[in-house]
Structure 1
Amino acid sequence: MSQNNAMDRTIKDTSILEEYNINWTQKLGAGISGPVRVCVKKTTQERFALKILVDRPKARNEVRLHMLCAAHPNIVQIIDVYANSVQFPHESSPRARLLIVMEMMEGGELFHRISQHRHFTEKQASQVTKQIALAIKHCHSLNIAHRDLKPENLLFKDNSLDAPVKLCDFGFAKIDQGDLMTPQFTPYYVAPQVLEAQRRHQKEKFGIIPTSPTPYTYNKNCDLWSLGVIIYVMLCGYPPFYSKHHSRTIPKDMRKKIMTGSFEFPEEEWSQISEMAKDIVRKLLKVKPEERLTIEGVLDHPWLNSTEALDNILPSAQMMMDKAVVAGIQQAHAEQLANMRIQDLKVNLKPLNIVNNPILRKRKLLGTRPKDNVYIQDPENETEDSNVALEKLRDVIAQCILPQEGENEDEKLNEVVLEAWQYNKDCKLLRDTLQSFSWNGRGFSDKVDRLKLAEIVKQVIEEQTNSPEDSQLFRAVAQRWPSHRFPPTAHRILG
């Protein structure tokens, strides 16, 4: 039996509501695929995390690889998986989705945990590193590359001092057969080989034929590079590779540093950190994969097995107490992941007259009616506020992509963004996005790239609804531009 067939047998087609109660209002966080909610087992009252994905091959691959890796104490456990039809607010019909019940991780993300411990020591950093390395080794032993190793995907089981840290989110994971070509990454943690793969892909996209007769590939070693960056940040509180200029793509200066492996150990933060710690960082941040420390080499390294006290208090905890510092590090994550979602969820909208055709709409509805007849509908009492919140976001997009007609356009944009923010304050992606565009709480301090803002706000909508944005956005824009003759820039957003 193939792994795919084996996984399909573990997915339940009964309603999740037979075994769990879902708290639709309590959100634990937002991954690349949408918010993670809380559910409670009816028989035991035990709380679990619930991740909901649109049921498609990519989502099934994520579940399959996560399930393959989950039998390890340092990887978040999957408890149940359901294939149900779920209808969220603003959807005209239910959609087939996978509902993934996972163990609850009460201890929070790695950076948050460090910031809570003012006396975070080098020994503790070493112990955390060992647990992360064990999780990576387990994945690699199954020939699986995680490809998105970063602090946000490292969670503590609970708030106890000896709580284990666990790896989660296999949305970018892939079987490594020596042919990993799709450049999935988060900027601060990306390996040189992944950037080179991206560079070659971009050339091919524009019709430039590569000189090499075989495609450029990278392998599981990219996870080890990311581990080196995480260790560096844990020790001092800032990344080894950075740029003075934030953007939605990696700036040239930052790219050059990564490609050449150029980083330093500034005396102010690193003077009290052991040479063993610096050594493991150096050996992990080697540009050439063959020179990089293997996962076995990491686990055998003296820093992870030292009998020395290593009780020096690290500067990272103090640095991470400054929310601006943490936001600066995580900002690049949100921006690049949003960029990935733009490509992944790009929708080609039909003309307005076709969308409004009741016969075609009815046929479309019948064609997408779920086969299992298991329907789950988000509680109606959320609908009114959610509708308003989404309309405010669509107003931002409309203001961004339609022709500017006066001297007060910046003020108008500030007004619609402020209204959208007031209705969507719990959205981390929107908060990170506005910060990256110099939002000060009342307006933008700098000139805004309106198209980029519109693209990311569209992804915010898709994250909130857990589905691609549809004709509602088209209609929202049409109300502001009745002629329906949209400028070329609008089509980039509307599809």
Structure 2
Amino acid sequence: VGGEISHSTDPFFQPQIALALQHCHLLNIAHRDLKPENLLFKDNSLDAPVKLCDFGFAKIDQGDLMTPQFTPYYVAPQVLEAQRRHQKEKSGIIPTSPTPYTYNKSCDLWSLGVIIYVMLCGYPPFYSKHHSRTIPKDMRRKIMTGSFEFPEEEWSQISEMAKDVVRKLLKVKPEERLTIEGVLDHPWLNSTEALDNVLPSAQLMMDKAVVAGIQQAHAEQLANMRIQDLKVSLKPLHSVNNPILRKRKLLGTKPKDGVYIHDHENGAEDSNVALEKLRDVIAQCILSQAGENEDEKLNEVMQEAWKYNRECKLLRDTLQSFSWNGRGFTDKVDRLKLAEIVKQVIEEQTMSHESQ
């Protein structure tokens, strides 16, 4: 915010924020990430309308809001409680409840209370003196108990009506919290008295060191807390059914330097021409090039493979079952099935070579 900000009994900025939120709530949409960064002026004019943005966490409130998504300074107690239970259930500390803990769109009203508090004095009502990459325990405790103050130094010039709105929005119990209609009907936003008090928040914002510190702490917390904890587990390679790995396992991977890397189950020898011809069959089965005559090309590579592997009984039986006449297939070929069997032929041949 640039320049001096007049006292927010001014009937402009606060009502616009509330009206934007009211529009969402009338549509039964919970924004779930309400904060100053998501409130934008349409342009630089003095009477520019305020736009509410970033609906990445927004969701229709059907009484089933459970996901602990939030930005630390503005998070409501109910969302923190959802996070606590989610983590305990995930770690097995407590059993998964048949009736999950839920919260509702009143979490936005708590965030609105925090925003108003920040606008009036320049700092958030809930913070910690201890830097942490997660919400510190003392900050979490203050949020869960709704413990905040109006320090005389910064709040002496703030009206009681403004403080009353903040108090009624920062109620721990959602049912005691102001609704968005209650905010819009509050005398603070409907007063005909225009006060000329200058808020201290603008002066605080002019201190670049203070702003830089706040931005750094906020950015770190934002990066860590907007993303849910995900427990990553990798499958053993032999049990992975990934198309790319499956092709590499069938073919062997040939990097640019020309050196083959084969799966340990194959153990194919690069110098063995017979095995290379079999790999060509597999390649044609699963990696045929667009525009080429696929059937003719398959017949061609199969002839080459058969020429070098005539002694293999498994290959001979396979070709008979696929109606091979020595020059080509007379019936339609199930290419994936053929590739799998040729892979078995490669394994069999490899084992035979190793035993010799």
TM-score normalised over the length of structure 2 = 0.61
Residue 405 of structure 1 pairs with residue 290 of structure 2: yes
Deviations 1:214-261 (A, max 9, x none): 211110000000000000000000111110012121111001111111
Give 1:281 deviation, angstroms. Answer: 0.3
Q: Classify 1:361/1:463 alpha carbon distance in 2 versus 1 (closer, same or farther; 3 Å).
A: closer
The match for 1:121 is: 9
Alpha-carbon distance between aligned partners in 2 of 1:228 and 1:240, rounded to the nearest angstrom:
9
CA contact (8 A) 1:146 1:170 kept: yes
Bigger Rg over Cα: 2
Q: What is the rounded CA distance, in whole Å, between the counterparts of 1:439 and 1:327 in structure 2?
A: 75
Kindly provide the CA deviation profile for residues 371-391 of structure 1, in whole angstroms up to 9, marking residues without a partner as x.
Answer: 999999999999999999999
**Cα distance in 2 between the residues matched to 1:306 and 1:177:** 35
Aligned partner of residue 37 in structure 2, secondary structure: helix
Q: Cα gap change, 1:215/1:253 in structure 2, threshold over 3 Å: closer, same or farther?
A: same
**Identical counterparts, % of pairs:** 92
Q: Deviations over 1:286-329 (max 9, x none)?
A: 01000001100000011111101121000000001123333343
Does the 8 A contact of 1:144 with 1:174 survive in 2?
A: yes
Which SS does the other structure have where 1:456 is aligned? helix
Q: Distance in 2 between matches of 1:373 and 1:460?
A: 23
Alignment of 1:385 with 2:280, yes or no, is no
Distance 1:414 1:196, change over 3 A: farther
Counterpart Cα distance in 2 of 1:443 and 1:300: 85
Question: Between Structure 1 and Structure 2, which shows a larger proportion of strand residues?
Answer: 1
Structure 1: gaps spanning 5 or more residues: 1-106, 110-118, 123-130, 466-494
1:259-295 alpha-carbon deviations (Å, 9 max, x no partner) = 1111111111111111110000000000100000110
Answer yes or no: is the 8 Å Cα contact 1:236–1:315 preserved in 2: yes
Q: Distance in 2 between matches of 1:425 and 1:164?
A: 81
Runs of 4+ in 1 over 3 A off after TM superposition: 119-122, 210-213, 327-333, 340-465
SS class of match (2:228): helix
Does the Cα contact within 8 Å between 1:120 and 1:313 map onto a contact in 2?
A: no
> For each residue in 1:134-157, what CA deviation from the matched residue of structure 2 results, as whole angstroms up to 9, or x when unmatched?
111111111110000001111111
Q: Which stretch of structure 1 is more off in the superposition, 194-203 or 404-413? A: 404-413
Change (3 A) 1:165 1:338: same
> 1:300/1:209 Cα in 2 relative to 1: closer, same or farther (>3 Å)?
same
Contact 1:176-1:220 within 8 A present in 2 as well: yes
Counterpart for residue 188 of structure 2: 303
Unaligned regions of 5+ residues in structure 2, if any?
A: 11-15, 351-355
What is the distance in 1 between the residues matched to 2:265 and 2:76? 46
Q: Is the 8 A contact 1:235 1:314 kept in 2?
A: yes
Deviation at 1:430, TM superposition (A): 59
- Cα distance in 2, alignment partners of residues 383 and 237 from structure 1: 70
Describe the superposition over 1:159-184 as per-residue Cα deviations: whole angstroms up to 9, x where unpaired. 11111111000111111111110001
Distance 1:161 1:195, change over 3 A: same
Q: For the residues of structure 1 that align with 2:335 and 2:253, how far apart are their CA atoms?
A: 34
- Structure 2 vs 1, CA of residues 359 and 372 (structure 1 numbering), >3 Å: closer, same or farther? closer
**Structure 2 CA distance for aligned equivalents of residues 423 and 163 of structure 1:** 80
CA deviation profile, 1:333-383 (whole Å, cap 9, x unmatched):
422332246548988789999999997599999999999999999999999
TM norm structure 1: 0.45
Report the Cα distance in structure 2 between the residues aligned to 1:324 and 1:315, rounded to whole angstroms.
16
CA shift in 2, pair 1:177/1:270, >3 Å: same
